[in-house]
Amino acid sequence: MKKAALLFTGALALVAVLPAAAHAVDYPATSGKLDVVSLTATSAKISGCGFAPGAVVNVSVDGKHISATAANAEGCISETVAVSANSRTITASGLNPAGGTLTLTVELVVSGGTAVTGANSGLLLAVGLMILGVGALFVIVTRRRGAAA
């Protein structure tokens, strides 16, 4: 019985240390980066690098194909795509320099409201009203002194 338990434990230890099967990966490994250059409520300008020069790069918003563009001589793209307040991701997919597929994704944060512009004038208005009040108080005090004299 001890031999069976020892044999079972040894087999279990051997299975635990065996290497796992390799998964399909593009070799040599390549990477890239996709950035949002500018973002409005209706459009996003993206730029990304890491593609093979001249490769056709498919651009999609939330999984829906939007456009196809060609990578320049450095393997970079620049594209403006339509987005909505519900848009969450932009994906660019094309060939990498090693001939494999490179898929780059960027997350979006689009707010569907009016942009806040200008200065915060609340404090300026309060200071102006205080100065106006102090000036009015000086006028009242000066008139009363003049009337008493």
Blockwise average pLDDT, block size 10, the chain, 149 residues: 57 53 51 85 90 93 92 93 86 90 83 60 86 92 85
> Model-level pTM?
0.54
Amino acid identity at 24 = A
The predicted pLDDT at position 72 comes to: 94
State the sign of the Cα–Cα–Cα–Cα dihedral 11, 12, 18, 24. Answer: positive
Task: Provide the pLDDT for residue 124.
Answer: 83
Query: What does DSSP say about strands 89-95 and 76-82: parallel, antiparallel, or unpaired?
Result: unpaired
Domain boundaries, the chain: 25-107
> Is the CATH code 2.60.40.10 the one for domain 25-107?
yes
pLDDT for 28 equals 45
